[in-house]
Amino acid sequence: MPLIKTEEIRKMDKSDREEKLEELRDELLHEKGVAAMGGAPESPGRISTIKRNIARILTVINEENNKSKGGN
């Protein structure tokens, strides 16, 4: 899974972002489960890529929440 660009995340509407976030969290849970059971990961950097994508989505969500509340 490639990194999701911040511009792409900003273009998504709120429901799409929430859906993508849930999908990424499920995928991360699955990948961590495979690693915990001793299975060889399909791609060694996949877990970190998923974590980065989750962080990017959460950052955009928090920025928009702060903007709507009148924050900086």
pLDDT (tens digit per residue) in 1-51: 688 999 999 999 999 999 999 999 999 999 999 888 987 777 889 999 999
The answer as to whether 56 is a domain residue is yes
What is the Cα–Cα distance from 52 to 70, expressed in whole angstroms?
Answer: 27
What is the pLDDT at residue 30?
A: 93
The answer as to whether 31 is a domain residue is yes
The answer as to whether 34 is a domain residue is yes
CATH code assigned at 51: 1.10.287.310
The answer as to whether 49 is a domain residue is yes
What is the pLDDT at residue 72?
A: 62
Residue type, 14: K
The answer as to whether 33 is a domain residue is yes
**Which of these, 50, 59, 54, 51, lies nearest to 10 by C-alpha position?**
59
Domain count, the chain: 1
* Whether pLDDT at 71 is above 80: no
The answer as to whether 1 is a domain residue is no
Spell out the alpha helix ranges (H) of 1-72. Answer: 6-11, 14-36, 46-68
Query: 64 lies in which domain range?
Result: 6-68
Over its C-alpha atoms, the chain yields an Rg (Å, rounded) of 14
Q: For residue 65, what are the contacts with CB-CB under 8 A and spacing of at least 6?
A: none
What predicted TM-score, i.e. pTM, was given to this entire model?
0.87
